[in-house]
Amino acid sequence: MVALPEAQAEEKVLNLYSARHYQTDEALYEGFTRQTGIKIKRIEGKEDELLERIRNEGAYSPADVLLTVDAARLSAAHELGLFAPVTSPTLEKRIPANLRTGDWFSFSTRARVIIYAKGVIDPDQVKTYGDLANPRLKGKVCSRSGSHPYNLSLMASIIAHHGEAEAEQWAKGVVANFARAPKGGDTDQIRAVAAGECAVAVSNTYYLARLMRSDKAEDRKTMDKVGVVWPDQRGVGAHINVSGGGVLKHAPHREAAVRFLEYLASDQAQRYFADGNNEWPVVAGIKIDNPALEALGKFKADSLPVASLAMYRAKAQIIFDRAGYR
Ligand SMILES: [Fe+2]
């Protein structure tokens, strides 16, 4: 690499496009600036808008790094050709192989768990995602939209493990069990279960942890009424989704961008993910201090490669549509 003085001056800035809107990420980024002297200019946006924006900016895009949530979205960025390949021994050593690809990397994980109304549902009846389709839960299941990436990724994992025919049977079974048409976000499903509007739902773990750690008595009361099950512990393990990112193809500050990704895999940054946003670090052996994650306990996570979630995303939508899982 030719090191022109101007180029060196430019290395002091990193343009980050982020779809993570967590307040705690501020501290995460400050840590990088303290370590490297590189300032982070952050542009926040909604997930799909950011992809669109980078695409429209094309070769003139100032974006160095894109951070977003959900494996399917990260793959969409890959398929649009937005990312540049990254070879980093640090990232390869720290991030497990199933949680990275050639151009994007996961930095934290979240599990999609089954929640149930305590005292109404026997947790033994909801031990697997498959159980959600069991007719004995008729009229008892709440869900957010089948078009939401979190559910599409869950469906993609079911297709990957059990095949399309079984996946479609499952979707139809869940739809037949709906207490109401899908609506709202994960937190709305948790509240609906607590309120008795339905008795079973799925949710990402950090929403549960957020309510558990909330200052509002009402949130903690909600959690008192809700039990959490780690699905498929005797099978493939609980479905895992990720937040992650990659270096963009037209990144003006490529070197800083790779350093930033490596920073996100550092012990310090990994702890921020866990303690700040109630996610699990991807790096093994990180000591975290988060009472809610501790209360949720240990579990077996599905080790399906994140790239497989992407592979079946389109199929997942087709099957949900066919099953009437709107
Ligand atoms: Fe979320």
152-184 pLDDT, tens digit each: 999 999 999 999 999 999 999 999 999 999 999
pTM of the model: 0.92
> Mean pLDDT over all residues of the chain?
94
Reported as half-sphere exposure (CB side, CA atoms, 13 A), residue 212 has a value of 17
Q: How many CB atoms lie within 10 A of CB 233?
A: 14
Give per-residue pLDDT as tens, 28-65. Answer: 899 999 999 999 999 999 988 999 999 999 999 999 99
CA of 112 to the centre of ligand 1 (A): 11
The set of residues, in sequence order, having a beta carbon less than 8 Å from that of 281 and lying 6+ positions away, is: 108, 270, 271, 273, 274, 288
Q: What whole-number distance in Å separates Cα of residue 141 and Cα of residue 197?
A: 9
- With tokens 């780690």, the residue in question is 230
Give per-residue pLDDT as tens, 113-138. Answer: 999 999 999 999 999 999 999 999 99
CA of 25 to the centre of ligand 1 (A): 14
CA of 122 to the centre of ligand 1 (A): 27
- CA 185 from chain centre, in angstroms, equals 14
CA of 62 to the centre of ligand 1 (A): 26
CA of 143 to the centre of ligand 1 (A): 14
3 state DSSP class of 39: strand
Q: How many CB atoms lie within 10 A of CB 203?
A: 26
CA of 64 to the centre of ligand 1 (A): 24
Q: What whole-number distance in Å separates Cα of residue 208 and Cα of residue 228?
A: 9
- The two tokens of residue 76 are 């969409």
CA of 153 to the centre of ligand 1 (A): 13
β-bridge mates for residue 14, sequence order? 40
Reported as half-sphere exposure (CB side, CA atoms, 13 A), residue 307 has a value of 11
CA of 186 to the centre of ligand 1 (A): 8
Residue type, 323: A
CA of 183 to the centre of ligand 1 (A): 15
